[in-house]
Amino acid sequence: MLASVGAWKKAEYALERAEAQWGREGRRRLESCLLLEENSLTTRESAVNTLPLVLTRNLEAVALVSDPLHLRRAYYLFRRHYRRHPVVVHPVPVPGIIRHYWRNRRYFWLAKMLCREAAAWLKVLAPRPGRRSSV
């Protein structure tokens, strides 16, 4: 599967974290099952675009890896999209991004990230015309 430079950088970051936490064997095992999906521009699109990849490989479970702030919304969206399929989604938080911004006094970036995530939740939960209310 071809991937963009950005997708490969994210994959390499995940592999480095796996190696740091679980050693070379952990990295090798993750490398063998890592799927790169690079066509999505939003988290919802990512859920939609990864489902065919998961189903064609007959996977029963997937790990959803992200920073803790974003992971809650991503997990919500993936579960919502995957609910009609026999695939279990396991959220796996990668700590450090928020801490990194705080320690390096990148307060603007941290505030931007928090505002972006809050706005994204509003978009996810806001009622849309023609959509049944889940309440």
**12: Cβ–Cβ under 8 A, 6 or more apart, which residues?**
none
CA–CA dist 13, 30 (Å, integer)? 12
Q: Convert the pLDDT of each residue in 25-74 to its tens digit.
A: 988 888 887 877 778 888 899 999 999 999 998 989 888 878 788 889 99
CA 50, CA 55: separation in Å to the nearest integer? 9
Residue labelled with tokens 């064609």: 56
Q: What is the pLDDT of residue 7?
A: 63
Residue 44: how many other CB atoms lie within 10 Å: 18
What is the model's pLDDT at position 128?
Answer: 73
Say if pTM beats, i.e. exceeds, 0.85: no
Give the model confidence (pLDDT) of 5-16 as tens digits.
456 777 777 788
Q: What is the pLDDT of residue 135?
A: 41
3-state secondary structure (DSSP) of residue 89: strand
